[in-house]
Amino acid sequence: MAKAMTLTEKIMAQAAGLAEVYPGQMITAKIGLAYTMDTLGKIVFNHLKSMGATKVFDPEKVLVVFDHFAPATDVNYANLHNEVRKLAKQFNVRIYDIGNQGIMHHIVAEEGYLVPGIIAVATDSHALTGGGLGAVVLGVGATDAAVAMATGELWLRVPATVKVDIHGSLPKGTMSRDIMLYLMGQKGWDGTRAEWAYQAIELTGETVRRMSMDSRFALCNLSSDAGAKNAIVPPDEVTRSYLERRTRRTFQFFQSDPHAEYADTISLDVSTFEPQVACPHSPDNVKPLSQVLGTKVHVATISSCSGGRLEDLHIAAQILKGRKVHPDVRMIVSPASQKIYQEAVEDGTFSTLLKSGVLIGHATCGPCHGGQLVILGDGEVCIGSVPRNMQGRMGSAEAEIYSANPAVVAASAIRGSIADPREYF
């Protein structure tokens, strides 16, 4: 009988064609999906050419999504986009281009490319988002992506797994991201001590089992900046019903063995949690909301791979319904995909937000990295449902960024300063 393995180890063993793997082992693994975006697409395709590749290993498992500067924000990007379009055509790779654009970490799940049980790689560090589906999803550089696209394989080192067992009901006003923000504050982010570096983070327990897919994606997304190799939620019936409407790919549900070995096990009761806020200028400078209430804000944004899903828009609309954004605040919303945009139009969410004085932008990563829609001037303060808050990320190095859940962002937009959403339900 094979040794007891964690969920991540099982997926890696299967991808390597081995009966068992152990942490630290080097493997050559089959890659079930590889994707890149507008900014790095050209480098990736040029690498493919350098290898002498004329096609990708499987056109159904390789994808380009335009998200970082989509649509183009200047002539350089307009030209770059055209080059990527031309290269993608040469290699017969599908692009989610303007009109179908959105944030790639969401698109791959929404469009059914990402399925449980596979290893997927993307040229962006927030790739870990996809682990919410029960797959091993890794961020990689352009070289790795190109090798994966050409050969369908990559060298990988099997990580040790940390189990985070979450129980208790999240109180009103808190969301899944508050759990990961709290843990980030404890474990340090990738720019400093990063205690979780190189490890697989398995998020489990009754609280996770009750979470929607949107919440699971947000939970895994926030773990990216803790330096983890991957984050993963054990797949279940919630996963299955999400997949039913989306994918035609075959998939496998793996679960950790009862006696699997973990590098660490953390047990967390979230029933007394309050919203968490990452304060300037680092994702691990995390404080409970009560300590930052009253901080004046000029910009509020609900957007990004971290906080631009339908659930995030719904909670914002629930809070803003019948209320106005504070006259000194600019509130900017950007959904994670065109489909989310459409759903928010059809269910009245965007109508509610428009009446409150919110600017509705298109689906792009732009607001989070200062590329478009949100650009901060000197001395401005922003609160956003974004993953990162490093100095200068949204424009001016003299600006400050607070990251928090969408309910906190919406409440703060009304108040004009960081506010408690529980006062608005």
Partner 1 sequence: MPGEMVLKGKAWVCGDYADSHQILPEKYWQGGSKVGTLNMEELGKHAMEGADQNFAAEASSGKYSFIVAGRNFGGGGKSIEHPIFAIKGAGVKAVIAESSSRYFFRNAINNGLPILICEGVTSKVRKGDDLEVDLSKGEIRNLTTGARLKFAPLPDALMEILKMGGYIPYTKKKMATESSRK
Applying CB under 8 A, the residues found at the interface with partner 1 are 26, 28, 39-43, 46-47, 50-53, 76-77, 80, 83-84, 123-125, 127, 139-144, 146-147, 150-151, 155, 189-194, 197-198, 224-225, 227, 229, 388, 392
- Cβ nearer to partner 1, comparing 102 with 370: 370
CB 204 within 8 A of CB 166: yes
Classify burial at 259, counting beta carbons within 10 Å of its beta carbon; exposed 0-12, middle 13-18, buried 19 or more.
Answer: exposed
Angle formed by the axes of helices 310-320 and 406-415, nearest 10°: 30
Torsion of Cα atoms, 360 then 361 then 364 then 366, to 10°: -110
Question: Least CB distance from residue 139 to partner 1, whole Å?
Answer: 5
Instruction: Give CA–CA dist 106/343, Å, rounded.
Output: 15
- Cβ nearer to partner 1, comparing 114 with 208: 114
Question: Least CB distance from residue 144 to partner 1, whole Å?
Answer: 6
Question: Least CB distance from residue 3 to partner 1, whole Å?
Answer: 21
- Cβ nearer to partner 1, comparing 43 with 293: 43
Question: Least CB distance from residue 391 to partner 1, whole Å?
Answer: 9
Give me Rg for the CA atoms of the chain. 21
Question: Least CB distance from residue 72 to partner 1, whole Å?
Answer: 11
CA atoms within 13 A on the CB side of 370: 17
CB 212 within 8 A of CB 314: no
At 379, which helix (H) or strand (E)? none
At 61, which helix (H) or strand (E)? none
- Cβ nearer to partner 1, comparing 177 with 229: 229
- Cβ nearer to partner 1, comparing 2 with 51: 51
- Cβ nearer to partner 1, comparing 27 with 260: 27
Largest pairwise CA distance in the chain: 66
Strands across the sheet with 230-232, in order? 230-232, 200-204, 161-167, 264-269
Question: Least CB distance from residue 39 to partner 1, whole Å?
Answer: 4
Instruction: Give CA–CA dist 10/118, Å, rounded.
Output: 10
- Cβ nearer to partner 1, comparing 82 with 291: 82
Instruction: Give CA–CA dist 371/362, Å, rounded.
Output: 13
Question: Least CB distance from residue 103 to partner 1, whole Å?
Answer: 15
Question: Least CB distance from residue 202 to partner 1, whole Å?
Answer: 17
- Cβ nearer to partner 1, comparing 27 with 344: 27
Q: Nearest-CA neighbor of 2 among 307, 190, 254?
A: 254
Instruction: Give CA–CA dist 226/335, Å, rounded.
Output: 24
Question: Least CB distance from residue 190 to partner 1, whole Å?
Answer: 4
- Cβ nearer to partner 1, comparing 117 with 370: 370
**CA 367 vs CA 96, 146, 293, 386, 413: distances in Å:** 19, 28, 23, 9, 16
